[in-house]
Amino acid sequence: MAAWDELKVVLVRLREEQPGVLLGYPTLELDPGRVPPVPPFGIGLAPWAAAIAGELHRQFADDVELTVGALPYPPGAQPRTRPATTPLPDLLDSREITVELDGPAVVRSGHTLRHSLLVRNLSGRDLQIATNGQVTAAVVDPQTGEVVGGFAGWQTAPLVIFRVAAGATEPIPLLIGTASYTPQLGYVVPAGEWGIQATLTLGPHPRDSRCRRTPILPLTITA
C-alpha cells in the first residue's frame, strides 16, 4: 500500500507537468472500496523519457515494471512479451496503386508525427482501404528494409474506410512514431535519414481483405 501511495503521487505529478510522458499506468482514480493495485506496477513511458524511467527505477526499484517506448527498462532487461512474427505482405502493385508522402516527413527522435499518405488509384475500379482512422508506419533501414522502430502506445480501433475512386488521388492520415524496436539503437530511433513503410488493407474489412506494403518512403529524424 505504501509503495502505491508514493507512486501515485509521482504519476499524478508526471501526468500534470509532462503531458504525453505516460503511455500506460494503473488507474489512479479508484472507486470507493476498490482494492488498490499491488506491485510490480506496470508503467509505460514515451520513447524520449528514459531519464524519467531512471528516476522511477531508482526510487521504486522492483516495485515497478518499466517500458520506455517499445522496450523494457533498464537497458538489457528481457522483454516481458515476445513480439508477434508474421510474414510481411507483398508490395503494392504500382500498376494499380501508387503512394507518396504529402510533403517531406520530418520528426524529432523519440516523438510522433501525424502526416498524410497520398494514395493514387490506377486500377480502373473504386478502391476501399480499411483503417482505424489512420495507417501506422514502421521505420525501416532504407538500405535493407529491416524494421527498426515505429509507434509505441495505444490506438483506438474503430473501422474507418477510405475510398479512392478510379483515377483519383486521396490523402489518408499517416501515423509515424520513432520508438526503437531494436535494443542496439537504444529507446529511440536516432537522428538521420531513415525510411518508412505502411501496410494498406485493401478492402472493406481487415478480416477478409488483402494487405499490401507501400514502397520505402523517406523519413528525416532530427535530434
- Tens digits of residue pLDDT in 152-171: 988 988 999 999 999 999 99
The answer to the question of residue 64 being in a domain is yes
Distance, in Å, from the CA atom of 62 to the CA atom of 42, rounded to the nearest integer, reads 11
Q: Which residue among 41, 73, 105 closes a domain?
A: 73
- Report if residue 166 sits inside a domain: yes
Q: How many domains, the chain?
A: 2
Say yes or no to pLDDT of 209 above 80: yes
Look at residue 30 in the predicted model and tell me its pLDDT: 67
Last residue in a domain, options 73, 106, 135: 73
What digits encode the pLDDT tens for the residues 58-78?
999 999 999 999 999 999 877
In terms of domains, do 171 and 105 share one? yes
Lowest mean pLDDT among 26-30, 60-64, 107-111: 26-30
Whether residue 144 is found in the same domain as residue 60: no
In a domain, 78, yes or no: no
pLDDT of 179 higher than 60: yes
Classify residue 61: in a domain, yes or no: yes
Closest CA to 173 of 126, 218, 131: 131
Q: Which residue has the higher pLDDT, 85 or 5?
A: 5
Both 174 and 102 in a single domain? yes
| Alpha-carbon dihedral angle through residues 190, 194, 114, 147, given to the nearest 10 degrees | -90
Residues 130, 166 within the same domain:
yes
Residues 126, 25 share a domain: no
Residue 205: what pLDDT?
A: 79
Give Cβ neighbours of residue 61 (< 8 Å, ≥ 6 apart): none
114 with 101: CB under 8 angstroms?
no
Q: Are residues 156 and 218 in the same domain?
A: yes
- pLDDT at residue 132 tops 90: yes
Q: Which residues pair with 33 in a beta bridge?
A: none
58 and 155, same structural domain?
no
What pLDDT score was predicted for residue 204? 84
34-48, 131-145, 160-174: the lowest-pLDDT one: 34-48
Same domain as 111, residue 66: no
Is residue 30 a part of any domain in this protein? Answer: yes
187: three-class secondary structure by DSSP = coil
pLDDT of 84 strictly over 60: no
Which range marks the domain in which residue 62 is found? 2-73
Residue 194 sits in the same domain as residue 131: yes
Q: How confident is the model at residue 37 (pLDDT cuts 50, 70, 90)?
A: confident
Output the pLDDT for position 27. 87
Q: Is residue 11 within 8 Å of 60, Cβ to Cβ?
A: no
> Are 111 and 206 part of one and the same domain?
yes
Query: Nearest 5 degrees, angle CA 62-CA 149-CA 18?
Result: 55
In a domain, 139, yes or no: yes
Domain containing residue 142: CATH number? 2.60.40.10
* All cell numbers assigned to 220: 528525416
Quick one: pLDDT band at residue 80, thresholds 50, 70, 90?
low
Domain boundary, last residue among 73, 89, 120:
73
Residues 115 and 210 grouped into a single domain: yes
pLDDT of residue 12: 94
Dist CA 63 CA 196 (whole Å): 37
Does residue 86 have a pLDDT over 80?
no
Residues 65 and 137 occupy one common structural domain: no
Is 127 a domain residue?
Answer: yes
